[in-house]
A and B are shown apart, each in its own frame.
Chain A
Amino acid sequence: MQVPAPFDYARASSVDEAIALLERLGPEARLVAGGHSLLPMMKLRLATPEHLIDINPLESELNYIREEGGLVRIGALTRHRDVLASEVLARHYPIVREAEELIADPPVRNRGTVGGALCQADPSEDLSAVFAALGAVTVIRGSGGERVVTMEDFHEGPYETAVGDAEMLVEVRVPIREHGGSAYEKVKRRTGDWATAASGVALWLDGANVGAAGIALSAVNPTGIRSTRAEQALIGRPPSEEAFAEAAALAAEDCNPATDQRGPADYKRHLAQELTHRALRRAAERALAS
């Protein structure tokens, strides 16, 4: 039987109370939301928090998807199933539904949260790449107030984020921009598995040319999820097969996959190139149709 090591359990009834509990209990305290990243880690003793602060009672405060002021704001406790079902997100950013359909499986998506996925910062996790491609920012709250951190600064490396000991991620903000298109491409071995490799792409047109681009890969980089050189290669050029091929080659060249049970590094690098190319093609079609 796999069960977590013993811990003390507390339930927070507000964000302020959760932060106060984190401050009082110190660095051996962890927040738990859906629990689908943290509880498996605790069963394996890869995480052994002394205190667990359950933030599931914060649904009314932190589970929301709101379009306002040129942004879509997503609460940290929004479940994967809510993200998948959101018409607002699907309309503005097709990449989000494409990624969510391939995250874990329906019962897991009923529990797992956006905040939990981002804070786990698993290198094969999908939403970090999705939000990085879209140019999203995260909102981190502590007792001293809130700070806004870009997605690529938030995701510091495997299982490391910008969230401090007595802080919590409360919101993701995704800018709404016109003339854009986005897409997600992922290869995984079976339903429920993590990505072998995945590529998230967003493009915004400025007239006939690409005005801005976001390309972020999952499962092929220990740190750094954005492919900056690949993005730069597209800007100021018309969206063409030639430009896509060049950008996809740069994304593959700049990634740093590891050989593991999901495949050899060469294969993952090949996937990074092919998946980026396909995602660019589809994102551009959507941008041109917008």
Chain B
Amino acid sequence: MQITITVNGEPRTAEAEPRTLLVHFLRDNLGMKGTHWGCDTSNCGACVVLVDGEPVKSCTMLAAMAEGHEVRTVEGLERDGHLDPVQQGFMEEHGLQCGFCTPGMMLTARALLDSNPNPTDDEIRVAISGQICRCTGYKNIIKSVRWAAEHGEEVTA
């Protein structure tokens, strides 16, 4: 079937089987490898993307279900050559080591800050609680999100 999804603001169309999961549609049909594919069982959260602004595990959503919806991936964080404050925060606070969980973590952080610009550490912990970092960099991830919350405006200015 033909599937059209708005990805990072642009309508993208590809032919795919109905059983195609959103993560594979993004990576294989559209060639966007920024979204990582991890456990396949909606546990690890490496595949998190935003659907209509909400974090979703793209290994447990059919691409067909995203038709007519807005998907935002890690490729859509940087805008006009400027890093998103969340990306800058992960650099400043060493929020990643191997980088496998990072795209999903950053998208969840973006969604959190969009709805709650000044979250507490506990609110950050709850927001990322469905995503696993196996370098155990949770503390630095929380510091990175805090950095983005505190510096958001000056980076985007």
Contacts and interface: CB of A to CB of B under 8 A. Distances in A.
Interface of A: 1-9, 11, 32, 35-36, 39-40, 43, 52, 54, 56, 81, 104-108, 110-111, 191-192
Contacts of B24: 1, 3
Nearest to B58: A107
A111 B18 contact: no
Nearest to A44: B41
Given A9-B1, A36-B42, A56-B65, A107 B19 contact: no
Contacts of B126: 106
23 contacts: A3-B20, A3-B24, A4-B19, A6-B18, A8-B18, A9-B18, A11-B64, A36-B60, A54-B65, A81-B54, A104-B130, A105-B130, A106-B127, A107-B45, A107-B131, A108-B42, A110-B54, A110-B55, A111-B56, A111-B57, A191-B129, A191-B130, A192-B129
A106 B130 contact: yes
B123 to A, nearest CB: 11
B104 to A, nearest CB: 8
B41 A2 contact: yes
A56 B21 CA distance: 16
B77 interface: no
Most buried by B among A3, A5, A36, A107: A107
| 6 closest A-B pairs by CB | A105-B130, A9-B18, A2-B40, A107-B55, A110-B54, A4-B19
B113 interface: no
B32 interface: no
